[in-house]
Amino acid sequence: MAKAPAKTKAPVHAPKRAPAKAPPTAPLKTPPKASPKPPLQPHPSHHPAGGGQMGEADETMVPAVAADALSIRDMRLARDGHRKRRAAPARNPLREGLRLERVPDPHTMVIFGATGDLSHRKVFPALAQLWRTNLLPADWMLVAVGRRPYDDDSFREEIGRSLDQWSRVPLEPEAERQFLERIVYHRGDFADDAAFDGLTKRLIEIDHAHGMPGNYLFYLATQPSAFGTIVGQLGRSGLDHERHGAGWRRIVIEKPFGRDLDSAKRLNREVGKVFRESQVYRIDHYLGKETVRNLLVFRFSNGIFEPLWNRRYVDHVQITVAESIGVEERGAFYEETGATRDVLQNHLLQLVSLVAMEPPATFDADALRDEKVKVLRAIDPFTRSSVEQNVVRGQYGPGWVAAQPVKGYREEDDVDPLSETETYIAARLQVDDWRWSGVPFYLRTGKRLPKRASEIAIQFSGVPHRLFADTVTDPQPNLLAIRIQPDEGILLRFGSKVPGLGMEIRTVNMDFTYGSAFSVDAPDAYETLILDSMLGDASLFTRADEVEAAWSIASPILDAWIDEPAPTLPNYAAGTWGPEAADALIERDGRRWRRI
């Protein structure tokens, strides 16, 4: 086993400045002097003596005295040439006033499945971005667990290559070197007790070598069949115990959490035997997306929408998660999964619960999740006959996407040529509570659709009296579209008079886009979620009862399909918006899928 690298004494990141404090208010009538700049300070979390304290980091921080600290008198004197005006520091005004981010406690993260696809493409690049932006503590180590025969150096080289390929923003060579230095490789099989005994020993060595308090974050980036084994091994080794003074222990579990309701319950029981629920972080990476998180802000920090957010004003809701890609190299995985397990049970139902939930009393993780669970429980459970009426499945055949010919699903690698796995699902749900009774929620997701686009559309009801029915164009009812990806933003559609002497009405859009409003790149969902798990904030993770409530909706669909013969498959061509039966599903109610 290779040794952990010696502790780096020098600050591991470029030192970050301390937030500029407003200069003390000058007494009235005393013009403020051109105050000397306070010295720049290293980031609190990277202070050589810094240990367990929480630090703060913010990219909008400004050096020393900000431009707005100048008095009007100062500026007038500067204009008149009496005094030299100080150079204004660069500042992104669009990020002013945003909360300063916290830095997690010192800890060791352990990734099980560190040699796998997800770790390479998402987890390590996300960690590297957190490192780059000084959001990881200075005392942070990572133990990568896998079966392949790496040692520390060869694994670091491998991750370096992955970062070159997958990093959202490339790291400075020195920052990358320091990041990689924090990673050690531990080889072992999950079934092997000795591998976990060795891991325990190694974690203790790291704690001693780095003066760490024994905080461990376990990340399960493995195939779901290994989750139970790893949890059992962590329990056997005592690595779950948050003994007095021994720091915290948390476990992040990748999706999918179970294959159906029974297996999800079984897995919850296995996890619950070892970890308390407050230690468990079940990932649905959709919840880490910036626009999804903004949905909460949009709904609950604006007074004007919430009064309209109910059955009195909303005609129906459409939620679309469309992918233009096929199954790529993951044919074997997809054969076992399909669109219902892959997207409907988690991402789509999470979006439904965020759209339909009541405002929580507080913004803590449990208050938020209590309200989401209530929505899932209020959804009319599917029966065999309601599945037949309200759910459509599909599978793509050959076709064209982005002007390129593409294979049908059954011709993809590692896919059964007679496969009945669904690559598309559309469903009509009813949230049967006071707020939403009678408002249908139409959900759809599929692969090889014409474009990659995820959107929540709140279709408001039309006006009660059509005052302008005789005009050339009748106004359309209002629509609010929340774009989750790409071009993250929010669009409000309303009618407007066309300029001129007549009374022509046209539908126009008021369009907010994240990119242009804030001029910063949104973090990747994995950056957000990993940081939250390090900070102990479980708001964006799925709770045990929530995951079971979601499976209670998805499982009856899968059960009904076991007995019911599949429709003739494939039933939609790649590059189209899904099977005709999905159009019929919504058109039966006198509505149409929104063109995205």
Q: Is 153 in the site for ligand NAP (CB under 6 A)?
A: no
When the beta carbons of 259 and 493 are compared against ligand NAP, the nearer one is: 259
Residue entry with tokens 């669909």:
557
Q: What residue spans of 260-348 are helical by DSSP H? A: 261-274, 290-300, 331-339
When the beta carbons of 240 and 254 are compared against ligand NAP, the nearer one is: 254
Span near ligand NAP by CB under 6 A; candidates 53-61, 95-103, 140-148, 546-554: 140-148
212 phi/psi in degrees, rounded to 5? -95, 155
Q: Is 226 in the site for ligand NAP (CB under 6 A)?
A: yes
Q: Which of 189, 270, 366, 433 binds ligand NAP (CB under 6 A)?
A: 189
Helix (H) or strand (E) holding 152: helix 152-166
Q: Is 147 in the site for ligand NAP (CB under 6 A)?
A: yes
Q: Is 548 in the site for ligand NAP (CB under 6 A)?
A: no
When the beta carbons of 184 and 429 are compared against ligand NAP, the nearer one is: 184
Span near ligand NAP by CB under 6 A; candidates 65-73, 163-171, 188-196, 355-363: 188-196
Q: Which of 55, 106, 137, 146 binds ligand NAP (CB under 6 A)?
A: 146
Q: Cα 124–130–135 angle (5° rounding)?
A: 145
Q: How far is the CB of 575 from ligand NAP (least distance, A)?
A: 23
Q: How far is the CB of 321 from ligand NAP (least distance, A)?
A: 14
Number of residues that bind ligand NAP (CB under 6 A): 20
Q: How far is the CB of 425 from ligand NAP (least distance, A)?
A: 18
Q: How far is the CB of 224 from ligand NAP (least distance, A)?
A: 5
DSSP-based three-state secondary structure for 426:
strand
When the beta carbons of 138 and 144 are compared against ligand NAP, the nearer one is: 144
CA dist., res. 142 & res. 323, Å (int): 33
DSSP-based three-state secondary structure for 81:
coil
When the beta carbons of 115 and 421 are compared against ligand NAP, the nearer one is: 115
Q: How far is the CB of 229 from ligand NAP (least distance, A)?
A: 7
Burial tier of 227 (Cβ tally within 10 Å: 0-12, 13-18, 19+)? buried
When the beta carbons of 103 and 221 are compared against ligand NAP, the nearer one is: 221
Q: Which among 51, 66, 69, 57 has a CA at the least distance from the CA of 7?
A: 51
Q: How far is the CB of 596 from ligand NAP (least distance, A)?
A: 23
Number of C-beta neighbours around residue 243 at 10 A: 9
Amino acid (1-letter code) at residue 293: R
Write out the catalytic residue numbers. Answer: 347
Among all residues, whose Cβ is closest to ligand NAP?
116
Residues in the chain: 596
Amino acid (1-letter code) at residue 540: L
Site string for ligand NAP, 94-113 (x = CB under 6 A): -------------------x
Q: Which of 190, 196, 526, 572 binds ligand NAP (CB under 6 A)?
A: 190
Q: How far is the CB of 118 from ligand NAP (least distance, A)?
A: 3
Span near ligand NAP by CB under 6 A; candidates 56-64, 252-260, 271-279, 482-490: 252-260
Q: Which among 58, 79, 71, 57 has a CA at the least distance from the CA of 23?
A: 71
Burial tier of 554 (Cβ tally within 10 Å: 0-12, 13-18, 19+)? buried
Site string for ligand NAP, 112-131 (x = CB under 6 A): -xxxxxx-------------
CA dist., res. 310 & res. 433, Å (int): 10
When the beta carbons of 337 and 459 are compared against ligand NAP, the nearer one is: 337
Distances (CA, A) of 137 to 100, 410, 425, 534, 535: 15, 48, 43, 10, 11
Helix (H) or strand (E) holding 425: strand 424-430
In the chain, the N- to C-terminal Cα span, in Å, equals 53
CA dist., res. 412 & res. 410, Å (int): 6
Q: How far is the CB of 457 from ligand NAP (least distance, A)?
A: 25
CA dist., res. 286 & res. 353, Å (int): 13
Site string for ligand NAP, 204-223 (x = CB under 6 A): -----------------xxx
Helix (H) or strand (E) holding 111: strand 107-112
User: Considering only residues 254-273, where is the footprint of ligand NAP by CB under 6 A?
Assistant: 254-256
Residues near ligand NAP, by CB under 6 A: 113-118, 146-148, 189-191, 221-224, 226, 254-256
